[in-house]
Amino acid sequence: MNHALAQLHRELKKNLFDYLLLFTAGVFFLISADLYKGERSIEFFVLVTYALFYIVWGVYHHIVDNSLHLKTVIEYILMAFTIIFLLKIIILP
């Protein structure tokens, strides 16, 4: 457990800007989604924009970290589409 916490601490310290950027974009997404509540097309546009940002952020993060692989990019794309699908089905009926 201590090893995992130490690893997490090193990762956060090393990539603090990246994670702050992702967190800030997530907060902005939540605020935007709440601001346009009820306007389905704008909500969906905000959701897709955040998903695209997430993919670009993931690629950027791994380029800086020198750990970018095709499998990683595909994983980010699949996660983004999963998030879009789940939020579209569950939250934005």
Q: State what percent of residues in the chain have pLDDT above 70.
A: 97
| pLDDT reading at 6 higher than 80 | yes
pLDDT in tens, 53-90: 999 999 999 999 899 999 999 999 999 999 999 988 87
Please provide the DSSP assignment of 28-82 as one string. Answer: HHHHHHHHTTT-HHHHHHHHHHHHHHHHHHHHHHHHHTT---HHHHHHHHHHHHH
pTM (predicted TM-score): 0.86
How many domains in the chain?
Answer: 1
Count of Cβ atoms closer than 10 Å to residue 35 Cβ: 11
Sequence length of the chain is: 93
Whole domain around residue 56: which residue ranges?
A: 2-91
Residue 74, classified by CB atoms within 10 Å of its CB into exposed (0-12), middle (13-18) or buried (19+), is exposed
